[in-house]
């Protein structure tokens, strides 16, 4: 049976060794890249199941590598970085990352976050194509396109799955735990700001094509799609 391939991209050998030692016992094949160019070359040849990517790897940096991968692939990308500012997290998500982990991190948590992304992607691949409509919003789960008042809104994989959950029952309030599970993260092991950042970016993208406010946060609970 073929093992899932994990590509770790970091210019620090000790970090690459740590990731390899953390994930190999879990049954993954870990392959390494020390630079952005090497990472992109290996990615095209090996097609890994998950990419674990540092930001500060020279040029191209982690943001650029993430954006380049996103041009052709929806593979889960986990940013593993020493950057701790909320702005850094937001920029990673904007580039198309699915998760954001700050160093140092334990081997157990890294393995859990990686396996969560793999399980979630496998489940998503089995979704059949259909059109979901909620008020002015239409979502095609086959083409993975969102339309707001017939205007297309471009979303990352994680943003798509966030809005897809809310559209499955537009007037229901989904808890933060439910949203976190739907996008393939865990509130236990991820940043408190991760969901809010995703929600904020979805609002910003919808605002570019419409003045309607359709994604609402419910204090202390979670999110809902429509207010009425």
| 115 against 74, higher pLDDT | 115
Q: pTM, whole model, 2 decimals?
A: 0.65
- Taken in order of first residue, the domains within the chain and their CATH numbers are 5-125 (3.40.50.2300), 131-224 (1.10.10.10)
What pLDDT score does 127 carry? 43
pLDDT above 90 for 33: yes
User: Within a 13 Å sphere around the CA of 153, how many CA atoms are in the beta-carbon half?
Assistant: 25
Q: How far is CA 207 from the centre of its chain?
A: 21
pLDDT above 80 for 124: no
Alpha-carbon gap, residue 46 to 88, rounded angstroms:
28
Alpha-carbon gap, residue 93 to 196, rounded angstroms:
11
Alpha-carbon gap, residue 187 to 177, rounded angstroms:
6
Asked whether 7 and 18 are in contact (CB, 8 A), the reply is no
Helix/strand number for the chain, H first, E second: 8, 12
pLDDT above 50 for 228: no
Q: How many CB atoms sit inside 10 A of residue 67's CB? A: 14
| 101 against 127, higher pLDDT | 101
Q: How far is CA 79 from the centre of its chain?
A: 9
pLDDT above 60 for 191: no
Q: ∠ CA(97), CA(189), CA(165), 5° rounding?
A: 60
pLDDT band of residue 128 (cuts 50, 70, 90) is: very low
pLDDT band of residue 2 (cuts 50, 70, 90) is: low
Q: What is the DSSP string of 113-140?
A: HHHHHHHHHHHHHTPPP-EEEETTEEEE
pLDDT tens across 135-150, in order?
778 888 888 889 887 8
pLDDT band of residue 115 (cuts 50, 70, 90) is: very high
Alpha-carbon gap, residue 156 to 96, rounded angstroms:
6
What pLDDT score does 52 carry? 98
pLDDT above 70 for 100: yes
Taking the chain, what is the end-to-end CA distance rounded to the nearest angstrom? 50
Q: How is residue 76 annotated by DSSP?
A: -
Q: How is residue 28 annotated by DSSP?
A: P
Q: What is the mean pLDDT of residues 186-193?
A: 59
Residue 171, SS3? coil
pLDDT tens across 195-206, in order?
888 899 999 999
pLDDT tens across 53-93, in order?
999 999 999 999 999 998 878 789 999 998 878 788 888 88
What pLDDT score does 10 carry? 97
């Amino acid at each position: 049976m073929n093992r899932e391939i994990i590509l770790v991209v970091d210019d620090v050998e000790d970090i690459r060794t740590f990731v390899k030692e953390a994930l190999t016992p879990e049954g993954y094949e870990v392959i390494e890249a020390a630079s952005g160019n090497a990472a992109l070359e290996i990615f095209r040849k090996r097609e890994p199941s998950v990419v674990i990517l540092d930001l500060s790897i020279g040029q191209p940096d982690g943001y650029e590598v993430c954006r380049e991968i996103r041009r052709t692939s929806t593979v889960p990308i986990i940013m593993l970085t020493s950057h701790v500012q909320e702005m850094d997290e937001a920029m990673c998500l904007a580039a198309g990352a699915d998760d954001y982990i700050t160093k140092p991190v334990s081997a157990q948590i890294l393995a859990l976050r990686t396996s969560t992304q793999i399980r979630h992607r496998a489940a998503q691949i089995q979704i059949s194509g259909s059109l979901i409509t909620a008020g002015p919003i239409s979502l095609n789960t086959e083409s993975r396109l969102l339309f707001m008042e017939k205007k297309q809104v471009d979303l990352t994989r994680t943003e798509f799955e966030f809005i897809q959950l809310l559209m499955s029952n537009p007037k229901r309030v989904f808890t933060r735990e439910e949203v976190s599970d739907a996008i393939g993260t865990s509130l236990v092991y991820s940043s408190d700001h991760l969901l809010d950042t995703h929600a904020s970016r979805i609002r910003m993208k919808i605002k570019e094509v419409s003045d309607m406010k359709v994604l609402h946060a419910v204090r202390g609970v979670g999110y809902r799609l429509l207010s009425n």
